[in-house]
Chain A
Amino acid sequence: MTSAATSNAPRPDVIRLDGVAKQFGVAPPALDSITATVRGGEITGLVGPDGAGKTTLMRLMTGLMLPDAGTIEVLGHDTRTGAARIQAEIGYMPQRFGLYEDLSVQENLNLYADLRGLAKSERPAVFDDLLTFTDLRPFTARLAGNLSGGMKQKLGLACALLKKPRLLLLDEPGVGVDPISRRDLWKMVEALTEEGVGVLWSTAYLDEAEACHRALLLNAGKLLFAGPPSALTERVAGRVFKLTGAAGRRRAILACALEEESVVDGVIQGEAIRLVVKRGADPATLRAQAGTEARIAPTAPRFEDAFVDMLGGGPGGRSKLAEATHARPADDGRPVIEARGLTKKFGDFTAATDITFEVPRGEIFGLLGPNGAGKSTTFKMLCGLLKPTLGEGRVAGFDLRRDGAEARNRLGYMAQKFSLYGDLSVAQNLAFFAGVYGLAGALKRERMALMTEIFDLGPHANLSSKDLPLGLKQRLALACAVMHEPEALFLDEPTSGVDPITRREFWTHINGLVEKGVTVLVTTHFMDEAEYCDRISLIDRGRSIALGTPDALKARVATPDNPDPTMEDAFISLVRSSSERAAA
């Protein structure tokens, strides 16, 4: 694919950072003497936990912000003196990409073509390319506000690419985008590098970082690593294992394992557990806890394993939240969440058709699907945000239509679109949600104190929640959602854009709660997150096209070529074959 000529030629540096520092107010420096380079013709991944300074670094590179110390040279221009020339030659896609929602796709393209000075004569060809590239051709007349998340992201990228930039800065382009669109995005960008464009791709999805030519790892404003991802992955070689054969108790086993001194990191992958151990530690000792049927075998390390290892390992396996939660006895075996023939029509358009499933107590159920396929609609019908056109939804036995308030009292809700009150402080948010769920007096104080302690919110209690770093916001959102000990938790892309460490902490809590009998419904675009689910419903074009355990779904797409497919492989393959059937 890559032409020999470009791959052999030495790639020129497009960005040179020399001792760059930036500080906001009296806070610890957002960036602290960063020295690095980004090369043309390749994708450089910019990774790091939330608040590491990724966005600040990108803004500094665009010249929209100036460093306190050090110099930044972009395409040969210093950002202090040459911001205008830099902005003329780069493409930048900020996190919340600036699409005008009340303009159509074509109008957004026209606007950015004019702003970037794309000659009129070249436009037909460029638009044609980009629309093909992004599959947006059928939607040119649609308002950008009515596009699905993935399509918006693609349109954003198309706008940044209109005049082939020499350098492309992408700030978390994969957030909220389904795996298929994410792959498409990646391919679009990769094609650019073959023409010599330099790309800086900031991301919290480490599988993306792993595919980059080089990666810059930022933590707390410091550059921890710069080089090919494989060089970082090296450090955990031989320390990554997969534990299988403990299906029923995998969550409990993971929680124990993570408490072990020798275990650096651990996540659930369907029926299996992936573990990273300390240098020199013997994984065999872990099998003792897992029981006799458990097998443990080495497996290939990933960038994420090394990332977590580099940052000093993941959080422990104990969830103070779960420990403080009262166990719910497995009672009559009645399902906690029920969807029966849920159908939703918006005018002529059917967003969801006859969705049926049941989630028994203590299970994690995942809703997966491409952007705009109807999973959000289904999710909203089940938590009472939308009234179904047909069918019924029940939570804890209460019909959402008739006893909506009763049902809502028994569920906790946490949305990706961080839905806390930004103008209120941390403590005020907690107090509000406590009150809304009817907690008062001593009980309210006790629960608030407990949440503050469990999630370590004490030092930030008086900060406005909009000023918190993403990781803390996410903790606070979870605290608010579980304050009233709900029977069912509804999580809408709960860890979207959140770094792996925070994500692990989050799932430690969720796993703990599930062990205590809490039932979870989760939507996600993040395939690692899907692996935590007991069962998954894959939704495409408003219908459930597959329902089963993660391993069962993976098994359905296994081929001789790919005997051990990933969740992402399963997702893409199942959606593609459903589309083909629909087309046929």
Chain B
Amino acid sequence: MWWIRLKALIIKELLAVLRDPKGRMILIGPPILQLFVFSYAATLEVRNVDVMVLNRDAGRWGYELVQRLDGAPTFRRIEHTQSTAALHDAINRQRVIAAIHIGPTFSRDIEAGRSADVQIILDGRRSNASQIVGGYLSQIIASVAAETPAGRQAAPSSVTVIPRNWFNPNLIYQWFMVPSLVANIALLIGLVVTALSVARERELGTFDQLMVSPLRTHEILIGKLAAPMLIGLFHVSVYITAAVFFFGVPLRGSLILLYGSAIFYLASVVGLGLFISSLSKTQQQAILGAFLFMVPATLLSGFATPIENMPEWLQPLTLVNPLRYFLVIVKGVFLKDLPLSEVAGNTLPLAIIAAFTLGTAAWLFRRRLA
């Protein structure tokens, strides 16, 4: 009997969000568009930046350095100037991210075996990008330095660093970004759809109709849970397919493990959504409540910055964040063939979060009746 009721409820929940063409479009179109825009846009790599060169040196070494800069693929354009004022203005107005100032005695100093000075000015407002640019510039300058007479003598004391990038040999950004987006977009959609579904029924008065039907509270919760989870699984599947076939991200681990843990992840997300919606009186409160959770959750997930870099006292807060665990799983299964034990170890907290939020939501719904 109960599965008949439940099936009816799940179909209804799916229809309620998907039958309206506008709703269908908004739930299916943009997330897929987002995948393509953000997986290319959200990169911390630095490419195509403009830099400026003020070369006061007339000799060979200044010319050599400028040539090297021109040949570097990182920079889109190398602007040349002869005035310090123009250089400062370009930095101030963010026309260039860095400026290289080669002094008039540069070549002379090198030929004389003296230490030659190069000044680099970087825009600290974009501190991340400018640090990376600073690194590139230092490398280029070092490569010039190695060819100077003094440099050639010192050369043998230099140490070669051989990089080995496990799991992602060429450090392709999309290999990291696309699996992470799977987790993020599922959170975004799952939370808002769920939080709204109950609040909307309350505002429209259909919630009473559900409550007088033979559906039990837990059946209503399961019904409310299933539809957003199915939508979430749909997105996850689309993203996984795109990751493998479009972005060429290797899927090294088990797809079954990935889906198995995804179900718990979605359950915990939807549980949070139901929890928020059981606390809200209106749709507006439900939506804004979802945002209030979502923004910090994204920041405290290890997505943009590693969790171990956060202060010790803040780290415990990330333990209740489902995104944190699923990011580990999804990236791990894709790139690292994460072992079962480790997947299970990260799925367990998801199950606990889901059980807790769903239990609390059920309790709050029952309490509303009284």
Contacts and interface: CB of A to CB of B under 8 A. Distances in A.
A and B in contact, CB less than 8 Å: yes
Contacts of A425: 19
Contact of A490 (B7, B12, B212, B370): B212
Given A387-B370, A425-B19, A438 B5 contact: yes
A437 B209 CA distance: 12
Interface string A428-442: 100111111111100
A424 B16 contact: yes
Interface in A377-409: 380, 383-387, 404-406, 408-409
Interface in B210-241: 210-216
A421 interface: yes
Q: How large is the interface on B (under 10, 10 to 19, 20 to 34, 35 or more residues)?
A: 20 to 34
Contacts, number: 91
Contact of A437 (B15, B205, B213, B369): B213
A260 interface: no
A76 to B, nearest CB: 41
A409 B12 contact: no
A417 B16 contact: no
Nearest to B206: A419
Nearest to A408: B214
Contacts of B12: 421, 424, 428, 432
A287 to B, nearest CB: 43
Contacts of A383: 212
Interface string A414-428: 010111111111001
Contact of B4 (A386, A408, A440): A440
Contacts of A440: 4
B8 interface: yes
A413 interface: yes
A385 B212 contact: yes
Q: Which among A419, A425, A428 has the highest number of chain B CB atoms within 10 Å?
A: A419
B205 A409 contact: no
B46 interface: no
Nearest to B12: A432
B9 interface: yes
A579 to B, nearest CB: 30
A380 B209 CA distance: 11
A22 to B, nearest CB: 25
A405 B15 contact: no
Given A432-B8, A434-B8, A436-B5, A384 B208 contact: no
B1 interface: yes
A346 B128 CA distance: 58
A296 interface: no
Contacts of B204: 419, 422
A417 B206 CA distance: 8
B120 interface: no
Contacts of A415: 205, 208-209
Contact of B9 (A411, A420, A436, A439): A436
Given A423-B16, A432-B11, A436-B9, A413 B209 contact: yes
A435 B210 CA distance: 12
A411 B370 CA distance: 20
A421 B23 CA distance: 15
Contact of B208 (A409, A411, A419, A433): A419
Nearest to B212: A413
A439 B20 contact: no
A7 B215 CA distance: 61
A384 B216 CA distance: 11
Given A387-B370, A438-B5, A423 B15 contact: yes
A419 B12 CA distance: 14
Given A413-B212, A419-B205, A423-B20, A435 B5 contact: yes
B208 A385 contact: yes
Contact of B211 (A384, A417, A439): A384
28 contacts: A385-B369, A387-B370, A404-B216, A405-B214, A406-B214, A408-B214, A409-B214, A411-B212, A413-B212, A419-B206, A419-B209, A421-B16, A423-B19, A423-B20, A424-B12, A425-B19, A428-B11, A428-B15, A434-B8, A435-B5, A435-B8, A435-B11, A436-B8, A437-B214, A438-B1, A438-B4, A464-B20, A490-B212
Instruction: Sort A-B residue pairs by CB-CB distance and give the 3 closest, nearest first.
Output: A435-B8, A409-B214, A419-B209
Interface of B: 1, 4-5, 7-9, 11-12, 15-16, 19-20, 23, 204-206, 208-216, 369-370
